[in-house]
Chain A
Amino acid sequence: MQNFISEQNLNTLLDKLIAAGKRVVAPRLTAGTVLYEPLQKAEQMVHDELPRRSAKETFFPVCEDIMSYEKEGQQVRLTDIDPNSFPETILVGVRPCDAAAVPVLDAVFSWDYRDEFFLKRRDKTTIIGLACTTADDACFCTALGLSPADPKGSDLFLTPVEGGGYTCETFTEKGEQFIASHGSFFSGQSDAKTLPLAQPQTDKFDLKKVKAWLDEHFEDPAWDSIATRCVGCGACAFVCPACHCFDIVDEGTEKKGKRRKSWDACGFWKFTHHASGHNPRDQQPKRYRNRIMHKFKYYDDKFGQTLCTGCGRCIRICPVGIDIAAIVEEISKK
């Protein structure tokens, strides 16, 4: 069984894929920040840092065209986007918390109507997860029942071993195919000890208890104290691997332009603002309540999944120090 790849072989393989014109996306330093971005060279990949934003934008870009229009006289010509034109992508070095969010997002983008912008990119992407050897205070994947070595969402999963290189496990046909196509880079060596993995210091939440409280407490004074600090900047949603709310806007003139889909956030007051002036979520605590409810109740009600993987990005980025892990833990103790 091919279950080991050396560091050098991984780099050579990625360079070969890049040279063959494949899009290889991995954590890399981009203008001073580590983000999931296409690599030009394998050595650009950052192995030990959680990117500032999640990997969701590989499938669900910050902003993307969904069609373009052009007016001629009273007629309008629409130009569709061909989802088959999306490039084949190898998404490598993906943190377990990011990979785990991808099958969670499959649910919303594929139920009833299929959003091929997300799903086609998903089809054309091979996800190579990478176990974490470091964690910080904000990491709480373990509280959600995941772990720094959880392969959920990965087609192929790498765990670093002592002396360099990675053990490699496959979890899908796509992963098996990847190894089969690039067999010469993998070897059978498997007795190396894996490096000590990260140990996030969080106990597992009782998500049933959390949901049970949320089921009964849409109205509760706790919401005011939980979210009164929230300034509605939306940063938490933008860095989140699972937040997927979006806006649809036209960019251009009446004559010519594009229709685009772009990230949005339930923390923005305008998100639910009616043209009449009425706003069902007219105060910030109501908007923050929706964030918690969507993640830990509504998504569960609808799809049987939690819309959070414990990456901790929203905790790190919040300008007013809102800690979702602390909030959920508090709810679980109510």
Chain B
Amino acid sequence: MCSNSSTSDNIYLPFLATVEEVIDETPDVRTLRLVFQDEQVRDGFTFRAGQFAEYSAFGAGESTFCIASSPTRTGYIECCFRAVGRVTEALRRLEPGDTMGVRGPYGNSFPIEQFFGKNLVFVAGGIALPPLRTLIWNCLDLRDKFGDITIVYGARTEADLVYKRELVEWQERGDVRLVKTVDPGGNSPEWDGKVGFVPTILEEAAPSAENTIALVCGPPIMIKFTLPVLEKLGFTDEQVYTTLENRMKCGLGKCGRCNVGNVYVCKDGPVFTAAQVKAMPMEY
């Protein structure tokens, strides 16, 4: 159970948070930087990379996303979402200074301590960078604990890449290898990255599997074609981590909808190894 509970016994009662900053990542993807209004919550809120929260726009309801900022960056949290439904449209209407609700953190997390001393390969597609970005910054803020860090990130078009300013930052760092790509036809004449689908570009980049952990997050189709590439590169299923996203309401293992077979994504996940995912029925 989380250590961030308020004085209420009501597990569905959110913390109030102020929207401190609004960043448009793409025409329909937005980052909100949130600061908890209660000082005790602000000081006491801790989480681990990979955990998620229930974010609410009052009057519209709650939506589930990962905490996209790094646990090493304190004083605020960030979420990142595409405005596609009732709640996310309402969240997008929020402006700096507005109040929203946050419940969490929930779920398991990346076992980052087990990655110490290893090389890391992050593979992400489109809107699925945020669940890895929390871990990327977590690792970069503890840079000397890891070996080589490779990030392979792609989107349909240049416009669909999220965290564009951070891609520049990662590209300019000497201690990260960033391989960015867009799908064929998604590039402008000025594009300085690769052109091709993520699995193909990953195969081309060919990171060594030796003493390496791969962290994959993307649309199901990308995952489907990425896992065989990793296998070809020599990664075992235990070396590959991903996160699952199923529709959730409570986030607490009660409301009954996020299960994949008998696995509850909200409690047993959202972080799983490829070996765990392969053992699950196709219900995600």
Residues on A close to B: CB < 8 A? 66-67, 69, 71, 74-76, 78, 80-81, 83, 108-109, 111-117, 218-219, 244-250, 252-255, 257, 259, 261, 264, 266, 271-276, 278, 280-281, 286, 290, 293-294, 297-298, 301-302
Q: State which of B16, B267, B281 has its C-beta within 8 Å of the C-beta of A219.
A: B281
Q: Pick from A78, A253, A294: contact of B256, CB below 8 A.
A: A294
How many angstroms between the C-alpha atoms of A244 and B250 in the bound complex? 12
CA distance A275 to B12 in the complex (A): 22
Contacts of B249 in A (CB 8 A): 246-248, 264
The contact sample of 17 A-B pairs, CB cut-off 8 A, is A66-B12, A67-B10, A71-B58, A111-B253, A113-B1, A113-B252, A116-B11, A218-B281, A244-B254, A254-B90, A264-B249, A264-B255, A264-B256, A274-B246, A275-B63, A275-B88, A290-B259
In the complex, A261 Cα to B54 Cα: how many Å? 15
Provide the B240-279 mask, 1 if CB < 8 A to any CB of A, else 0.
0000011101101111111111100001000000000000
Q: A78 to B13, Cβ gap below 8 A? A: yes
**Is the Cβ of B10 less than 8 Å from the Cβ of A254?**
no
Of all chain B residues, the one with the shortest Cβ separation from A218 is B281
Partner of A250, one of B58, B281, B283: B58
Q: Determine the chain A residues whose CB is within 8 A of the CB of B255 once the complex forms.
A: 245-248, 264
- B residues near A302, Cβ cutoff 8 Å: 262
Q: Give the residues in chain A near B100, CB-CB below 8 Å.
A: 76
Is B85 in contact with chain A by the CB < 8 A criterion?
yes
Q: How far is the CA of A246 from the CA of B251 in the complex (A)?
A: 12
Q: Is the interface of A mostly helix, strand, loop or mixed?
A: mixed
Bound CA span A109–B254, Å: 7
Nearest Cβ on chain A to B82's Cβ, whole angstroms: 8
Give residues 64-104 of B contacting A (CB, 8 Å): 82, 84-85, 88, 90, 97-101
Query: Is B113 located at the chain interface by the 8 A CB criterion?
Result: no
A246 to B284, CA, bound (A): 20
A211 to B270, CA, bound (A): 26
Chain A residues near B284 (CB-CB < 8 A): 280
Report whether B8 and A74 are in contact in the complex, using a CB–CB cutoff of 8 Å.
Answer: no
Residues of A within 8 A of B82 (CB): 275
Residues from chain A with a CB closer than 8 A to the CB of B186 are: none
Is A244 a contact partner of B10 (Cβ separation < 8 A)? no
Given contacts A83-B9, A274-B247, 15 further A-B contacts (CB under 8 A): A74-B97, A76-B16, A78-B14, A108-B254, A112-B252, A114-B9, A245-B255, A246-B249, A248-B12, A249-B61, A264-B255, A266-B256, A275-B88, A280-B260, A293-B262
Q: Could you tell me the distance between the alpha carbons of A144 and B1 in the complex, rounded to whole angstroms? A: 33
Measured CB to CB, the closest approach of chain B to A287, in angstroms, equals 11
A260 to B97, CA, bound (A): 26
Residues on the B chain within 8 Å of A117, using CB: 10
Closest to A249 in B: B61
Most buried by A among B10, B57, B82, B97: B10
Residues of A within 8 A of B62 (CB): 248
